[in-house]
Amino acid sequence: MPKLNQIIAVEKGVKSKSLQELTQAHQDVQKPALLAGISRTYQPKDEEGEQLPPESTRVQVMAEDVLRATATTLTRLFDVTATKDWANRTAAADVVVDGRVLLPGVPVPYLLFLEKQLNDLHTFVRKLPVLDASESWMQDPSTDAWKTEPVRTIRTKKVPRNHVKAEATEKHPAQVEVYYEDVPVGYWTTVKFSGALPARRVNELLDRVERLQQAVKYAREEANGAEVTDQRTGDAVFGYLFG
């Protein structure tokens, strides 16, 4: 008996071929010239009249032939698709992660759904915000965020000072240069907070997603190895439609 993965492999080619042939059939029956024929002969009015050869154009496309060919082409597609879909109702496998059955008896369509969702989740997790590695972080129970140790820094203020370059004399005033000196006036105590995640946590999540992705792929391969029963739906459908 054929296996489901063999039917899946064949289905794409059958779809492509049937689409091409159906398109060609549609184009053929839309060309009146291919469906039309004629036969005519000429008889002069009297024996001395000009003799002309007969003319004929044969019908190149018969609509009934097109219907039969279309039914044959689509019957194969209908049968292959039915065989796959009937098998998908029963083909299933367990999703096993680290030796534990996470999801028992999962059918193929849901395994395909899981694969797509896990691809999207992998992208999402990979782009999660990560704590700045240049800081030392600890969890803060009061805010449920991460925080750094307090860092104390001095706040300074520029205060003008006078520098006497030359003392005053009877003839000249003193030469004074103003400069500014940074004078401590207080202290800042800074604690940084962040809602990002430690790199270790993001890597752990990525690892889980990737292990589940692998498990789902294994399950799909196992389910697709199930034997199938050939379904014959095309004859019934086209026997009714074109019969």
* CA–CA distance, 55 with 237 (Å, rounded to integer): 42
| Inter-CA distances, 99 with 96, 103, 159, Å | 6, 12, 72
Structure token digits, residue 92: 């299933």
Task: Name 55's Cβ contacts closer than 8 Å, sequence gap at least 6.
Answer: 38, 39, 40, 41
Task: Give the per-residue pLDDT at 175.
Answer: 84
Backbone angles phi, psi at 161, to 5 degrees: -130, 150
Task: Give the per-residue pLDDT at 47.
Answer: 83
Structure token digits, residue 77: 């597609």
Instruction: Give the end-to-end CA distance of the chain in Å, rounded to a whole number.
Output: 31
Structure token digits, residue 93: 């496998």
| Inter-CA distances, 233 with 20, 69, 78, 81, 178, Å | 21, 17, 6, 9, 100
Task: Give the per-residue pLDDT at 114.
Answer: 97
Backbone angles phi, psi at 184, to 5 degrees: -60, 130
Among candidate residues 118, 131, 141, the one with its CA nearest the CA of residue 208? 118
* CA–CA distance, 128 with 154 (Å, rounded to integer): 35
* Parts of the chain with a pLDDT under 50: none
Task: Give the per-residue pLDDT at 102.
Answer: 96
Task: Give the per-residue pLDDT at 34.
Answer: 86
Task: Give the per-residue pLDDT at 164.
Answer: 77
Q: Please state the domain extents for the chain.
A: 1-84+239-243, 150-190
